[in-house]
Structure 1
Amino acid sequence: MRGCERRADRGFVTAETAVVLPVLVMLAMGLVWGLLVVAAQIQCVDAARTGARAAARQDPPDAVVDVAREAAPPGARVTVSREDGRVRVVVVAEAPALAGLAYELREEAVALTEGTAGANG
């Protein structure tokens, strides 16, 4: 009787592997994509902070945008605005995309300009 049971179970491992393997590959791809998105978000944070520091030092707007773009992910859009002694730098970038998945990353940083940093206290 034991010989019959072994012959009947022979193809189950192959069938289970064929079902589970694509799921594991998709899970791994999702994890890698998530890590790429997190890394791009961190780059956006760094770019916004770098741009805000440069703008707070009264650097020219073109120089602020250039400095922020160097730290930002490729293709990022950088905007700089000044209002009431503050400067705001916004970095917007497309996340590393899988086919058909559009996801936008956005980060902003605000800093007091150097001429007004001690005026409030």
Structure 2
Amino acid sequence: MTAEAAVVLSVLVAFTMALVWGLLAVAAQIQCVDAARTGARAAARQDPPDAVVRVTQEAAPSGSTVSVAREGEQVRVTVVAKPPVLTGLPFEVREEAVAAAEEAVAAGAAGP
């Protein structure tokens, strides 16, 4: 009876740890989505590149990498992060957001 209890307990602990890790991975993915969207909005407003990266990293999971690129009239922000716990696994979450670049209003132009 004790051997079966030890096996069952170890399986339950492993299952619980897998569930917790899965939830943490999903939470990191959601943070990456939000961070990429925030960065794309900032880049579309023509904010300076260092400000875009700073705003994006504030919203992203800790230790994530952010890249900002402009392709014609679109800006693309990519956030890549490793989920917490079990960092030894070769697994990362990645999210991109694309936004149309807004035209800067000319200095001194009269508004409507």
- Calculate the TM-score normalised by the size of structure 1: 0.81
Q: 2:53 aligns to what?
A: 65
Write the distance in 1 (CA, Å) between the matches of 2:79 and 2:87: 23
Q: CA deviation at 1:49?
A: 0.2
Which sections of structure 1, spanning at least 5 residues, go unmatched? 1-11, 117-121
- Calculate the TM-score normalised by the size of structure 2: 0.87
Letter in 1 for 2:27: A
1:28 paired with 2:22, answer: no
Which sections of structure 2, spanning at least 5 residues, go unmatched? 105-112
Q: 1:115 aligns to what?
A: 103
Question: Structure 1 segments of 4 or more deviating over 4 A?
Answer: none
Write the distance in 2 (CA, Å) between the matches of 1:100 and 1:114: 41
Write the distance in 1 (CA, Å) between the matches of 2:18 and 2:97: 29
Q: In terms of mean alpha carbon deviation, does 74-83 or 96-105 score higher?
A: 96-105
Superposed CA offset, 1:92-118 (max 9, x none): 1112231632311110000001129xx
When the two chains are superposed, the root-mean-square deviation of aligned CA atoms in Å is 1.4
2:63 alignment partner, SS class: coil
Is contact 1:95-1:102 (8 Å) kept? no
Larger relative helix fraction: 1
Which residues in structure 2 correspond to 1:1-121 (within 5 Å)?
12=1, 14-98=2-86, 100-115=88-103
Q: Which has the higher contact order (CA 8 A, sep 6+)?
A: 2
Letter in 2 for 1:46: D
